[in-house]
Amino acid sequence: MADALRSYRVVVVSPHLDDSPLSAFALMQRAAQVSPDVESVTVFTAPRADGAPSDWDRYSGFTSSTEAMASRYEEDRRAMEVVGVRSRHLHQREELYRGPGEEAPAVAAMQEQLRAIVAEHDVPTVLAIPAGLGAVPSWFRMQRHKVSVPLLRVKPGGPSHTDHVLLRTHLLPFALELAPAVIVYEDLPYAWGGGYAGLVADLTAGGRRAVRESLPVDLVRKDEALRHYASQYQMFFPKWSDRLADVFEPVEHYWWVTRN
């Protein structure tokens, strides 16, 4: 995969603001060095129609979804300066902001937006999409949130995020229509909860070939980028922000998926 990046423009499709550097930091840095062009495109960046906050917005300190998105746009801009790639927002609504019947139109609009992004350049484009990993965490995994001793190294996973699974479901076949390959990144922190068996079955359905690869990641630089997402940082890393090496592996994992 790393060598193939030289032949492709790389568009990392991020469900939410912060997902691409959380899960695909190494990919973006590597692509920025060798690819003709690399960009992070975040799908779900529109506030609720009425501007009301979600519970997550309130936990993050915001009084409205409009305020939350405005602040997070700026966080994303600063973080991507550290990563060294351009960013773009598609302004669809995430699960917590969508109303009844809004999912299908959001998916259709996203696909048309991505098709237009791919058509902007003559260079072949490969999309990188989330794996939608995760499983309901056990009580033991959850203890990792509450203690800060290196001895307890079990990372807390979590349920698969609906928006991440939505993107994998709708973008895997779509991306393979646009290019002969797609990159599937193991989304963090959800990947720590498992769910690999279902992912492999999905990636290899219909005779597709999926090869798992790893890229080394600069954890210091990654942490520098993630700290710009100030509204989200302590929500994810309340106990271990001072020792990211105990949280993240020194590599990130990806699947290089090709058509049969």
Q: Which residue has the higher pLDDT, 35 or 155?
A: 35
pTM of the model: 0.90
Residue 259: pLDDT above 70? yes
pLDDT digits (tens, 9 = 90+) for 76-105: 999 999 999 999 999 999 999 999 999 999
User: What amino acid occupies position 146?
Assistant: K
Q: What percent of the chain has pLDDT over 70?
A: 87
Q: Determine the pLDDT at residue 144.
A: 44
Residue 154: pLDDT above 60? no
Question: Closest Cα to residue 254, out of 207, 203, 215, 199?
Answer: 215
Residue 48: pLDDT above 60? yes
Would you say 10 and 67 are in contact if contact means Cβ atoms under 8 Å apart? Answer: no
Q: Determine the pLDDT at residue 15.
A: 98
Q: Kindly report which listed range (43-47, 81-85, 189-193) carries the lowest average pLDDT score.
A: 189-193
Please tell me the distance from the alpha carbon of residue 71 to that of residue 249, in angstroms, as a whole number.
Answer: 29
Mean pLDDT of the chain: 88
Q: Which residue has the higher pLDDT, 74 or 233?
A: 74
Q: Compute φ and ψ for 190, nearest 5 degrees.
A: -60, -35
Q: What percent of the chain has pLDDT over 90?
A: 73
Task: Cite the beta strand spans of the chain per DSSP E.
Answer: 9-14, 38-44, 86-92, 125-130, 181-185, 209-216, 251-258
Q: Kindly report which listed range (63-72, 154-163, 224-233) carries the lowest average pLDDT score.
A: 154-163
* Residues found in the chain: 260
Give CATH for domain 4-258: 3.40.50.10320
Residue 253: pLDDT above 60? yes
Confidence grade of residue 129 (pLDDT, cut at 50, 70, 90):
very high
Give the angle subtended at the CA of 90 by the CAs of 88 and 96, to the nearest 5°.
120
Would you say 2 and 210 are in contact if contact means Cβ atoms under 8 Å apart? Answer: no
Domain ranges of the chain: 4-258
What are the helix and strand counts (H, E) for the chain? 9, 7
Please tell me the distance from the alpha carbon of residue 35 to that of residue 30, in angstroms, as a whole number.
Answer: 8
Residue 10: pLDDT above 80? yes
